[in-house]
């Protein structure tokens, strides 16, 4: 399973284009995601991967890579399963 590709798939479902989802793209400044949209993205990731993301505990997400790393870390810890 490629976690990054699955995160891109979820983000595409939220209206983003795959090519704009580079690892170093900043959530707010580059992807123009506000706090409400970030909650929607996090919920979509939780539903897709069957995980629970505590954004506060994660220290917030600054880049797209932070989202991917968080999902990867939670999945590696056995916190969920990918849903297709």
Segment 5-63, tens digit of pLDDT: 999 999 999 899 989 999 999 999 999 998 889 889 999 999 999 999 986 766 688 99
Task: Tell me: pLDDT of 83 over 70.
Answer: no
Global pTM exceeds 0.95: no
The C-alpha atoms of residue 33 and residue 29 are separated, in whole angstroms, by: 8
The pLDDT of residue 84 is 44
| DSSP calls for 16-57 | --GGG--TT-BTTTTT---HHHHHHHHHHHHHHHT----TTT
* R_g (Cα) of the chain, nearest Å: 12
């Amino acid at each position: 399973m490629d976690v990054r590709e699955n995160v891109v798939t979820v983000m595409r479902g939220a209206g983003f284009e795959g090519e704009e989802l580079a690892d170093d793209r900043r959530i707010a400044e580059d992807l123009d995601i506000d706090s409400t949209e970030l909650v929607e993205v996090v919920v979509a990731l939780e539903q897709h991967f069957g995980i629970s993301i505590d954004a506060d505990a994660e220290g917030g997400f600054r880049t797209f890579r932070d989202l991917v790393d968080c999902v990867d870390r939670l999945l590696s810890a056995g916190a969920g399963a990918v849903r297709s």
